[in-house]
Chains A and B, each alone.
Chain A
């Protein structure tokens, strides 16, 4: 017995329900990020099952040299951050570098995404035009939507490339903010400060209804 897919490829009959190993094999072979929807279709499972398989695979890869990169809805297998040195021997190029202004801007976006340019400038206290341009050109951030307010400014969020470049398997891997973030609340900040929004592991950038109160 065999299953014929729409593409005409004859598949062997499924001998077991889709497993995390199936997901691993699929992501290993495909040389681009796959969306959860694509995974669901290819493994012939529903979205809930995909989420379960993703969690299982994440746990399975915890001590491995490869890691499951999760950016919003996209999934991809990559080398682990701890294996950077080993892989460098083959890749032949080292890690990149970044000056303070774009790095600080990127950090604000990473922790406060989605955030407007004004929101970034509010935190850094300086114009963010140049830094944003650099980050957009390097594909580390992207415009995700517009804030439904006067002027409908763009809101920015980090990309999958950002996770790769900074050795993060997901946004939940971001280092915790130093210092007592709650201490901001004890200070009377004119723009009604709030602590950074929690970023959940497998749901990509947090998307609150409005922009982070810290930012605007």
Chain B
């Protein structure tokens, strides 16, 4: 039985022919009887009919006559490696693979003896072979037409180009063409003076007080200096603020104080709630010793 299947073309010949268009062949050692076997992978996806046709045509077999069952193994081998994992694609391959498996399984069994009067439709394998073969032939017709059509892509038709819509010409600034004026520099100076006199006077600007800028850097220096001069007794924050009561000055001074405390340059002590905030110079570590 096995031999007969092989004789029907199950053992596909080693393809010496070049790869088919859109299909990549690759070879593997260790096929049946240790022969070199060739497998097909679609370089460019074109569906299960495309794959089956590629397998058949690779061996220069006639799709109208060649038994399809022997291609089941080859087809399944590709199916196992199909790169597309979309359900729709896989199901399309499963459908064809299932038909091939049925055909192959029936080919392994003894053929039934056809009695006279037996309805031909009882021979399911015959029907399925015919159906699949018809689909392959129909697909081949369109595939070949597609190839012919594809060649025509190199000879397109061109319509007339759309005329470029030009922007309207800008209105000329001078109604008459400009001509160079021959003149002496003194006239130019006088002309410039007249133009200057025609200049519109600047609008009177309202006078408004401008707040003094206060930077953290300035306040850092001021605090350092005050602390240094105050010695061990330290300096009160109130005295650092002086008469300035604007919020930005107070906020910047306080930020500067925090920065100095963070750097451990000063020590800040408030002995009691709402009591004076005294700032003293930090004692370096080890100085107590």
Tell me the A residues contacting B by CB distance below 8 Å.
28, 31, 67, 69, 76-82, 84, 87, 91, 94-101, 103-104, 106-108, 110-111, 121, 123-127, 129, 163-169, 174-175, 177-179, 181, 183-184, 187-190, 193, 214
- Chain B's interface: helix, strand, loop or mixed, by majority? helix
Query: Which of B44, B88, B127, B146 meets A188, CB within 8 Å?
Result: B127
> Could you jot down 11 A-B contacts, CB within 8 Å?
A76-B159, A81-B155, A84-B157, A100-B50, A103-B146, A163-B157, A166-B153, A174-B149, A178-B141, A179-B140, A187-B134
Question: Which 6 A-B pairs rank lowest in CB-CB distance, beginning with the nearest?
Answer: A126-B47, A187-B134, A127-B88, A78-B157, A107-B146, A95-B154
Nearest CB of A to B230, in Å = 80
A91–B159 CA distance with the chains assembled, in angstroms: 11
Are A110 and B158 neighbours in the complex by a CB distance under 8 Å? no
Per-position contact with A for B152-168: 1 when CB-CB < 8 Å, else 0? 11111111111100000
Contacts of B140 in A (CB 8 A): 179
Q: Determine the distance from Cα of A65 to Cα of B162 in the docked complex, in whole angstroms.
A: 19
Bound-state CA distance A177–B50 (Å) is 17
Q: Which residues of B pack against A, CB within 8 Å?
A: 22, 44-50, 64, 86, 88-89, 92, 95-96, 127, 130-131, 133-135, 137-146, 148-150, 152-163
Whether B131 contacts A190 by the Cβ 8 Å rule is yes
| Beyond A106-B146, A125-B49, 4 additional pairs, beta carbon < 8 A | A31-B161, A77-B160, A101-B45, A184-B138
Q: State which of A77, A87, A110, A169 has its C-beta within 8 Å of the C-beta of B149.
A: A110
B86-A184 in contact (CB<8A)? no
> B158's contact among A78, A82, A101, A189, by CB below 8 Å, is which?
A78
Q: Say yes or no: A165 contacts B153, CB within 8 Å.
A: yes
Distance to closest chain A CB from B106 (angstroms): 17
Given A98-B150, A127-B88, A184-B134: A107 and B145 within 8 A (CB)? yes
